[in-house]
Amino acid sequence: MRISELSEASGVPVATLKYYLREGLLPPGESLGATRADYSEDHLRRVRLVRALVDAGVSVAEARRVTEALDDPPRSRHDLLGRAQYALPAPHAATPVSDEVTGLLADLGWVVGPDSPALHSLSGAIAAARSAGVPLPTDALTGYARASEAVAAVDVSNVPTDDLASALHRVVAGTVLVDPVLAALRRLAQEHVSSRG
C-alpha cells in the first residue's frame, strides 16, 4: 500500500507517518522509485503500536527504544518479557533501589534482574506514597505483590511462543494498554469489597 493508504488504514495523518519514518519509529517501505514506497501489513501493525504508545503517554524517544527492541527479536519468552519491560518508560527511574524493596523481593522469593527498571519505579512509588501520607506497611506491600504475581502469571501464560517477534509486539502493547485495565479493575473491586460491609 502507498503511504496515503497506510494513513487511511491506520487513521494516522501522512505528515505524522513521515515523522515516524524520520524518527526511526517506522521502517522504510519497499522502494518503488525515487518518491514512492510500498508499505505492508507489518507497517500498519507498527503504526498502530506506535500510535497506542504515544496516545498512552510514551515519549517519542521511549517509543523508539520499543521499536528498536521489536527490530531485534529475542530468542526466548523470558528474554522477550525482559526486553519489553526494559524498553518501556519507568517512572522514578532515578530513584535508588531501597533496602525495603530488596528485602520484600527476597522475602517473596522473586528472581528479578538487578538492573530492572521496575525496582527503581517501586522504590520511588513507595517513597512518593509515604511522602503524601499513605503508610504502605509491609503486610500491604506483600499483599499487593502476591496479587501482582497472580496477574503476572496470567500475562506470561498468554504470551505466544511460536513467533517471538509478534509476541514482543503484543507484550509491549499489552503492558502499556493493560495497565489502565488493571487499575480500573482494582477500583471496581474496591467498590465491590467495600459494598459487602
Which residues contact residue 193 at a Cβ distance below 8 angstroms, ignoring those fewer than 6 apart? Answer: none
The answer to whether residue 161 scores a pLDDT higher than 90 is no
Neighbour tally for 70: CB within 10 Å: 20
Give the residue with greater pLDDT, 51 vs 75: 51
pLDDT (average), residues 31-38:
88
CA distances from 18 to 40, 83, 99, 182 (A): 15, 27, 46, 34
The answer to whether residue 76 scores a pLDDT higher than 80 is no
Distance CA 171, CA 159 (A): 7
Residue with cell 467498590: 191
Instruction: Tell me the H-state helices in the chain.
Output: 3-10, 14-22, 41-55, 60-70, 77-87, 99-108, 117-131, 138-157, 164-195
pLDDT at res. 65 = 83
- Contact in structure between 47 and 26 (CB atoms under 8 Å): yes
- Contact in structure between 168 and 83 (CB atoms under 8 Å): yes
- Contact in structure between 148 and 185 (CB atoms under 8 Å): no
pLDDT at res. 53 = 85
- Contact in structure between 130 and 161 (CB atoms under 8 Å): no
Residue 30 parent element (H or E): strand 30-31
- The model's pTM: 0.77
**pLDDT-derived band at 94, boundaries 50, 70, 90:** confident
The answer to whether residue 70 scores a pLDDT higher than 90 is no
The answer to whether residue 155 scores a pLDDT higher than 90 is no
Domain boundaries in the chain?
88-195
